[in-house]
């Protein structure tokens, strides 16, 4: 009898499992900062909305986001952009959402970290652009070579950057992730549902109702 009472008591005292929140929370407004390898802050985005945050990645929305750049003018993004930030890969991707097409611009960068309501990463200068399903173009090679010497990138780091570059090309060839229209449309639909993007933007984005939620 005593054992049964002890068992019941222990069951009653069992702590309630609370849902673990992953910050930043979905729907929150944050900032993003890009640094050079020496720690210099060279660009900041203020007013970025979190559409999704999982163990795999952040997906952000920029609409009327303020952008400030070191020693240059500030400006506001008047049209919507999605920003895919994988947490375990060395790059992040802007998707400029035009009315009918996507313009994808990928930064080779460090894995992002989050602190003080801000996502931070180091930009490694090398970029990959793609527009209207044209071939990928690697840009800023000269800047990468210059900063590789200036900031003394290690051989290990350079190899990691080139491996990430190959990974980006593989994604493109396999129509994966931010290069996949269905994935992009899924997040457009999320932005429409929370009224971050106008309801009539890309009507075809809502047609993918059977598409399985990515990541």
pLDDT at 175: 94
Measured between alpha carbons, how far is residue 39 from residues 121, 167, 207 in Å?
10, 26, 44
* CA dist., res. 112 & res. 120, Å (int): 6
Give the Cβ contact number of residue 12 at 10 Å. 7
> Which string of DSSP letters, residue by residue, matches 80-107?
-EEEEEESSSSEEEEEEE-SS-EEEEEE
Q: With pLDDT > 70 as the criterion, what percentage of the chain qualifies?
A: 84
Judged against a pLDDT cut of 60, whether residue 1 lies above it is answered with: no
Backbone angles phi, psi at 40, to 5 degrees: -75, 125
Judged against a pLDDT cut of 90, whether residue 180 lies above it is answered with: yes
Judged against a pLDDT cut of 70, whether residue 14 lies above it is answered with: no
pLDDT at 5: 46
* CA dist., res. 88 & res. 99, Å (int): 31
Contacts of 130 (CB under 8 A, 6+ apart): 103, 104, 105, 136, 137, 172, 179
* CA dist., res. 203 & res. 139, Å (int): 33
Q: With pLDDT > 90 as the criterion, what percentage of the chain qualifies?
A: 73
pLDDT tens digits, residue range 40-87? 999 999 999 999 999 999 999 999 999 999 877 899 999 999 999 999
pLDDT at 99: 80
Judged against a pLDDT cut of 90, whether residue 7 lies above it is answered with: no
Domains located in the chain, CATH noted: 28-207 (2.40.380.10)
Q: What is the pTM of this model?
A: 0.85
Return mean pLDDT, the chain: 88
């Amino acid at each position: 009898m005593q054992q049964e009472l002890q068992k019941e008591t222990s069951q009653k005292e069992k702590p309630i499992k609370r849902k673990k929140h992953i910050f930043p929370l979905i729907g929150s407004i944050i900032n993003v900062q890009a640094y050079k390898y020496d720690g210099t802050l060279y660009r900041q985005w203020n007013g970025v909305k979190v559409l999704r945050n999982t163990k795999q990645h952040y997906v952000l929305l920029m609409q009327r986001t303020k952008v400030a750049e070191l020693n240059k003018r500030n400006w506001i993004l008047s049209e919507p952009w999605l920003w895919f930030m994988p947490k375990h890969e060395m790059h992040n991707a802007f998707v400029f959402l035009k009315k009918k097409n996507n313009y994808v611009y990928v930064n080779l960068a460090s894995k992002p970290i989050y602190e003080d309501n801000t996502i931070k990463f180091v930009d490694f200068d090398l970029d990959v652009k793609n527009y209207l399903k044209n071939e990928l173009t690697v840009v800023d090679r000269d800047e990468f070579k210059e900063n590789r010497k200036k900031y003394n990138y290690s051989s290990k780091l350079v190899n990691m950057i080139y491996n990430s570059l190959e990974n980006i090309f593989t994604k493109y060839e396999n129509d994966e992730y931010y290069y996949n229209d269905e994935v992009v449309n899924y997040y457009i639909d999320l932005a429409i549902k929370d009224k971050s993007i106008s309801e009539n933007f890309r009507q075809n984005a809502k047609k993918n109702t059977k598409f399985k939620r990515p990541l």
